[in-house]
Chain A
Amino acid sequence: MNFLAIAAIYRFEMQRFFRTLLQSFVSPVISTSLYFVVFGAAIGSRIDQVEGVSYGAFIVPGLIMLSVITQAISNASFGIYFPKFIGTIYELLSAPVNFLEIVIGYVGAAATKALFIGVVILATSALFVDVEIQHPGAMVAFLLLTCISFALFGFIIGIWAQNFEQLQLVPLLIVTPLVFLGGSFYSISMLPPFWQTVTLFNPVVYLISGFRWAFFGQADVSIGLSLLAIAGFTALCLFLIWRIFRTGYRIKS
């Protein structure tokens, strides 16, 4: 294992993050505050408790997931797309590193950034509502797994994308709808039975449900299923990345 190379990639990626630290910090704080104003205060005041939790607190796990997933994907996809775009990928390809080291470096950095955003949102939320965490260990585990698995997914998008439009395409067309419809702002038990069934095909439901369970001890689906879903998703992404580096898909002719 070329640990120095992993550290070099990780540090290089984090430097990009620190260059834009203010943006990285301010934008999630503002957007979270807006969600609380709109959903929590304006709409939430007309909604009673959801499953025994005040609506404002109920949306906290979903809000964190929404930002963490989006950030993990965009950071990781940009992180590997940019070297392809400006040509610096030559250096990665000519270095004595294997795919696992490249992935750990890039995905690790993207996951760290997403984790940072998640913590910022959690802290911001605490300013608006009382946040209680019943299973802190599970909460941290879910948060970490989500950061890592979606950073892996973002890495794949970054390699697949051949222009900036494609880079935005998957997050915009697939991920954002899945996250919004995955129960970020509602419990799926609030839906008519037919849509409840449809929703079960949305993988993000399992994530948000599991994450919410860590906070409130209540879940739409069983916690075991949630863990299985995220483990499966991580494994799928890892397999795809392994294939990409074996075949040199879109990075090596």
Chain B
Amino acid sequence: MAAFVEVSGLEKTYDDGFQALKGVDLEIREGEILALLGPNGAGKTTLISALCGITTPTGGTARVGGHDIEAEYRAARSLVGLVPQEIALEPFEKVINTVRFSRGLFGKGRDDALVEKILRQLSLWDKRTNQIKELSGGMKRRVLIAKALVHEPRVLFLDEPTAGVDVELRRDMWEVVEGLRQDGVTIILTTHYIEEAEAIADRVAVIAHGEILLVEDKAALMQRMGRKSLRIDLVEPVEAVPESLSDYELWKSPDGQSLTYTYDTNAERTGIARLVRELTEAGLVIRDIQTSQSSLEEIFVGLVKEDAA
């Protein structure tokens, strides 16, 4: 599949010197759902803001649908819909007017049938003539989604769409997302809820401290989840995994202080005993050993922690 959103070396340094993005490279394929995971302050929102034109990147480039987000901002932005994290809506405006406004702003002619379809899909049709200030928080979030969809974007950014949202809205939202996926819309979703990423994403990207740490197919990650991992802490850090142990496909932590061996618990032989013996033969001194069932959440937390160290 072709990359629909191409980000290369994207940087953002704020005026106060804070570097929110440190050369982000990311390719998002057409029609996929990519979950962007990361702790608070990792740069998720900054990345989305830069791609949508809300902040100006200080380095690197990005293209949406082949259009440079700065030089060809009109073509690029026409393709993009954004559901922001914070609820920001004109309180005195009527629901239907603010949705129509969004469509016009993106240069699309009035389309009452589409507006009705989207409002019905999000259970907002009955509230269409209400002022926004009369709506509950969940309803306001629905309005934000309707505004982002009404200009028929090809890429949709959902920035923490389910933060503080009730079960019903979550279900409605995933229905909408599923419908969009069937229409071939590319979706980028940031979230704190890892189970959510597990449930709907095709691929997962992890960002921390302004850097992408990992982009991987969810299926591959899920496979890892069905496995156990054995973490071996070493007394002396290693530069590289010794050649003699290459069969084990050990994963070395960036500081070289520990090695992780993942193994299939269902296999006849796990190879643990042999690994420990061969480690000792290779001259490595083991300080501690721990095993764990790795989940996406653990992989995520582990990556973020190591990056911080």
Contacts and interface: CB of A to CB of B under 8 A. Distances in A.
Interface of A: 2, 4-5, 7-9, 11-12, 15-16, 19, 82-83, 86-88, 90-98, 248, 252-253
A19 B92 contact: yes
Given A88-B88, A90-B88, A248-B56, A96 B102 contact: no
B282 interface: no
Given A93-B54, A95-B106, A253-B15, A88 B77 contact: no
B73 A96 contact: yes
B52 A94 contact: yes
A43 B89 CA distance: 49
5 contacts: A15-B97, A86-B89, A93-B52, A93-B53, A95-B106
A8 B55 CA distance: 23
Contacts of B74: 2, 96, 98
Nearest to A87: B88
A184 B74 CA distance: 46
Interface of B: 14-15, 52-56, 73-78, 80, 82, 84, 86, 88-93, 97-98, 100-109, 147
Nearest to A86: B88
5 nearest A-B pairs in the assembled complex, by CB-CB distance: A8-B104, A87-B88, A96-B74, A96-B77, A94-B52
A86 B98 CA distance: 14
A248 B49 CA distance: 14
A91 B105 contact: yes
B107 A4 contact: yes
A36 B78 CA distance: 53
A11 B104 contact: yes
Given A88-B89, A90-B88, 19 more contacts: A5-B106, A8-B100, A8-B101, A8-B104, A9-B105, A12-B90, A12-B93, A12-B101, A16-B93, A83-B90, A86-B91, A87-B86, A87-B88, A91-B147, A92-B105, A93-B53, A94-B54, A96-B73, A252-B54
